């Protein structure tokens, strides 16, 4: 048995059912061995960056380690962007590659693999000899599982092609792992948090990604009701409390006008599983007069303002919420924010009341996103790429989707399509909807071929303003000619059809519904090229770059 076959066997023994790859000299035998050993679902991409992004989508949607493999040198270099993004999203990934022979001084693909992993912030696992390879595989998977981090598993080509010197026997990384533990709060700190909350007249319960992961939503709803609090979320937790009448949605960059107004009056914020970063607090300006109670499993979290919370409760999000609720059960329910007037404000105030004039032959992206949500079933996944356009689905689609992924962790565009492909591979039981921009989509247009070839059930809605919208609007806000940010007109639907994926062009939100219904009635992909107006500037951009209120 060759070492590459032993590695393949170990990868399968870790429970791998899907792998993502792009072949080259450093990994073709490994990937071929995975296939020969019975792994049918090996998904070939057209660029190494997409390979790793698909693995990220799979890992985040499934909650389990994803396996991907790229070749040495230029293959790993191409993967750097997505590897960095996966590090920042804390996706558990094992990326297998291998360095060229150290004796081959003429090999053009020589490269510092360890340096690439270090630059991205990923863990790095190498192998010194053939007899240590299974320990290295186990270590890589355990680090990915327990650390929620991508691991570059670098098995030199020479070692891969050596004979494995022992009988094959492998113990998966899951053996001996302790179950997830839920830290309980310290009683003294809990009492301090309860007293702060009791003293509040306008409290807000703010849930983050940690609250979602801990399953804390029900406890937080009950806590907010008992305390007279509004409900709010960070971006990763978007939609968690929909359709509660006292839910004000995303706090921070994507706050609605009424959310911004109410949060400015808050005197206490209970942040659960939320880091309170710059974007959530709008640099510290969002709830300037509020005491902060923070519930988190980290030993300590410093907020974006540079200070710590007034009360920091080290606890699991659900346990912390339940303990706060338990302590308040003997108190009479508080009214706080929970008045009919506040409920009417939340219900009746528009998220964006601007009325720009649309160019002929273009749609309002806000209406398009609202129509999309009306047509989608309760069970669906949602992936939103990054760029100016992403404010529209974030602010104008209210429901929670599962999985629900955003491609913002490295601030890079071009990630949406491969993330959606990976998420759909992890969740074949439901349709996955991608909302992406035209400039972003075209950066990974080659992956449309994989979308078509695999018949993946992804609906790609492209909000096409024929521009890099972020740069177009920023240039205009700074007084420059914005045309440098414009793109030549491109029929993206025709591009999709050329790859074998059904595609259509629409210029009005009313045209979207029948196409979504057609997609849902089928079993394969569809791309909708929606021509949107450049005159519709997102509310966050109007606020940040044009100095305009909501």
Q: What is the pLDDT of residues 330-358, one digit of tens each?
A: 899 899 999 999 999 999 999 999 999 99
The CATH label, of 3.40.50.970, 2.70.160.11, 3.40.605.10, 2.40.30.20, for the domain at 365-544 is: 3.40.50.970
Confidence at 389, pLDDT banded by 50, 70, 90: very high
Our CA dihedral for 332, 248, 431, 389, rounded to 10 degrees, sits at: -170
Predicted confidence (pLDDT) at residue 103 exceeds the cutoff of 80? no
Contacts of residue 547, defined as CB under 8 A and 6 or more positions apart, other chains included, come to none
Query: So what's the pLDDT on residue 404?
Result: 97
Confidence at 285, pLDDT banded by 50, 70, 90: confident
CA dist 390 and 209 (Å) reads: 19
CA dist 206 and 208 (Å) reads: 7
- As a whole number, mean pLDDT of residues 505-528 equals 98
* Omega before residue 243 within 30° of 0, cis: yes
Please give the structure tokens belonging to residue 156: 């030199």
Pair type for strands 381-384 and 432-437 = parallel
Query: So what's the pLDDT on residue 287?
Result: 86
Give the Å distances, CA to CA, from 156 to 66, 95, 204, 407: 21, 14, 54, 32
Residue with tokens 């191409």: 78
Query: So what's the pLDDT on residue 550?
Result: 53
Exposure of 360 in the CB half-sphere (CA atoms within 13 A):
0
CATH code, 187-348: 3.40.50.1220
Percentage of residues in the chain having pLDDT higher than 70: 100
Query: What secondary structure letter does DSSP report for 297?
Result: S
Confidence at 129, pLDDT banded by 50, 70, 90: very high
CA 135 to chain centre: 31
Q: What is the pLDDT of residues 53-81, one digit of tens each?
A: 999 999 999 999 999 999 999 999 999 99
Domain boundaries, the chain: 3-160, 187-348, 365-544
CA dist 219 and 319 (Å) reads: 9
Q: Please, are residues 84 and 78 in contact by the beta-carbon 8 Å criterion?
A: no
Q: What is the pLDDT of residues 130-161, one digit of tens each?
A: 999 999 999 999 999 999 999 999 999 999 99
Q: Please, are residues 509 and 368 in contact by the beta-carbon 8 Å criterion?
A: yes
- As a whole number, mean pLDDT of residues 477-499 equals 94
Query: So what's the pLDDT on residue 305?
Result: 73
Using DSSP, state whether 95 is helix, strand or coil.
strand
CA dist 475 and 116 (Å) reads: 33
DSSP H or E run through 419: helix 416-426
CA dist 536 and 256 (Å) reads: 16
Query: So what's the pLDDT on residue 347?
Result: 96
Residue with tokens 């004000």: 248
Predicted confidence (pLDDT) at residue 548 exceeds the cutoff of 90? no
Average pLDDT, the chain: 95
Query: So what's the pLDDT on residue 181?
Result: 85
- As a whole number, mean pLDDT of residues 516-535 equals 97
**In terms of Cα–Cα distance, which of 307, 312, 314, 313 is closest to 288?**
307
**In terms of Cα–Cα distance, which of 451, 449, 389, 435 is closest to 529?**
435
Q: How many helices (H) and strands (E) does the chain have?
A: 24, 18
Using DSSP, state whether 169 is helix, strand or coil.
coil
Predicted confidence (pLDDT) at residue 41 exceeds the cutoff of 70? yes
CA dist 68 and 50 (Å) reads: 10
Query: So what's the pLDDT on residue 273?
Result: 96
**In terms of Cα–Cα distance, which of 185, 187, 342, 180 is closest to 272?**
185
Percentage of residues in the chain having pLDDT higher than 90: 89
Q: Residue 106: phi, psi to the nearest 5?
A: -95, 0
Q: Domain 3-160 has what CATH class?
A: alpha beta
CA dist 447 and 106 (Å) reads: 33
- As a whole number, mean pLDDT of residues 11-17 equals 98
CA dist 354 and 391 (Å) reads: 14
Confidence at 549, pLDDT banded by 50, 70, 90: low
Give the Å distances, CA to CA, from 239 to 30, 482, 497: 41, 34, 33
Q: Please, are residues 540 and 475 in contact by the beta-carbon 8 Å criterion?
A: no
DSSP labels for 190-222? Answer: HHHHHHHHHH-SSEEEEE-HHHHHHT-HHHHHH
- As a whole number, mean pLDDT of residues 408-424 equals 95
CA dist 163 and 2 (Å) reads: 4
CA dist 390 and 183 (Å) reads: 35
Query: So what's the pLDDT on residue 284?
Result: 76
Query: For 109-118, 184-193, 389-398, which range has the lowest pLDDT when averaged over its residues?
Result: 109-118
Q: What is the pLDDT of residues 250-261, one digit of tens each?
A: 999 899 999 999
- As a whole number, mean pLDDT of residues 85-110 equals 88
**In terms of Cα–Cα distance, which of 18, 25, 29 is closest to 51?**
18
Predicted confidence (pLDDT) at residue 102 exceeds the cutoff of 80? no
Query: So what's the pLDDT on residue 106?
Result: 74
Q: Is the dihedral of CA 328, 330, 336, 337 positive or negative?
A: positive
Q: Please, are residues 309 and 226 in contact by the beta-carbon 8 Å criterion?
A: no
**In terms of Cα–Cα distance, which of 458, 377, 397 is closest to 422?**
458
Confidence at 179, pLDDT banded by 50, 70, 90: confident
């Amino acid at each position: 048995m060759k070492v590459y076959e032993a590695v393949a066997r170990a990868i399968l023994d870790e429970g791998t059912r899907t792998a993502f790859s792009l072949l080259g000299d450093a990994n073709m035998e490994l990937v071929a061995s995975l296939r020969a050993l019975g792994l049918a679902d090996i998904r070939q991409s057209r660029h190494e960056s997409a390979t790793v992004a698909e693995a990220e989508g799979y890992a985040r949607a499934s909650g389990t380690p994803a396996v991907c493999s790229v070749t040495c040198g230029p293959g790993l270099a191409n993967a750097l962007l997505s590897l960095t993004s996966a590090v920042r999203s804390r996706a558990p990934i094992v990326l297998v590659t291998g360095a060229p022979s150290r004796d081959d001084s003429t090999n053009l693909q020589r490269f510092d693999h360890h340096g690439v992993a270090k630059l991205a912030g990923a863990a790095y696992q190498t192998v010194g000899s053939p007899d240590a390879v299974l320990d290295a595989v186990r270590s890589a998977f355990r680090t990915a599982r327990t650390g929620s981090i991508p691991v570059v598993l670098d098995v030199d080509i020479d070692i891969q092609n050596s004979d494995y010197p022992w009988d094959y026997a492998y113990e998966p990384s899951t053996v001996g792992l302790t179950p997830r533990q839920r830290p309980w709060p310290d009683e003294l700190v809990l009492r301090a948090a309860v007293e702060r909350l009791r003293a509040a007249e306008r409290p807000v319960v703010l849930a983050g990604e940690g609250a979602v992961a801990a399953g804390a939503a029900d406890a937080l709803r009950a806590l907010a009701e008992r305390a007279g609090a509004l409900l709010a979320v960070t971006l990763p937790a978007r939609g968690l409390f929909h359709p509660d009448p006292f839910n004000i949605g995303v706090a921070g960059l994507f706050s609605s006008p009424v959310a911004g107004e109410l949060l400015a009056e808050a005197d206490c914020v209970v942040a659960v599983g939320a880091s309170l970063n710059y974007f959530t607090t709008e640099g510290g300006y969002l709830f300037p007069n509020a005491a902060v109670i923070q519930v988190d499993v980290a030993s300590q979290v410093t907020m974006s303002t540079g200070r710590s919370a007034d009360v920091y409760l080290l606890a699991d999000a659900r346990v912390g919420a339940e303990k706060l609720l338990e302590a308040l059960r003997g108190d009479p329910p508080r009214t706080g924010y929970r008045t009919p007037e506040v409920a009417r404000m939340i219900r009746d105030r528009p998220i964006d009341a601007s009325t720009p004039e649309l160019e002929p032959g273009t749609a309002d992206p806000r209406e398009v996103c609202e129509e999309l949500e009306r047509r989608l079933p309760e069970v669906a996944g949602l992936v939103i790429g990054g760029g100016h356009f992403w404010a529209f689905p974030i602010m104008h689609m209210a429901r929670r989707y599962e999985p629900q992924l955003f491609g913002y962790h490295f601030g890079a565009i071009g990630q949406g399509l491969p993330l959606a492909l990976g998420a759909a591979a992890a969740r074949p039981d439901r349709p996955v909807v991608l909302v992406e921009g035209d400039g972003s989509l075209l950066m990974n247009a080659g992956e449309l071929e994989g979308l078509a070839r695999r018949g993946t059930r992804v609906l790609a809605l492209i909000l096409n303003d024929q521009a890099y919208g972020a740069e177009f609007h920023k240039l205009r806000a700074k007084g420059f000619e914005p045309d440098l940010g414009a793109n030549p007109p491109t029929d993206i639907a025709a591009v999709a059809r050329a790859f074998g994926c059904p595609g259509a062009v629409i210029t009005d939100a009313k045209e979207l519904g029948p196409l979504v219904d057609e997609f849902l009635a089928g079993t394969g992909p569809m791309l909708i090229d929606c021509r949107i107006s450049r005159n519709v500037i997102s509310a966050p951009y109007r606020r940040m770059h044009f100095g305009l209120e909501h």
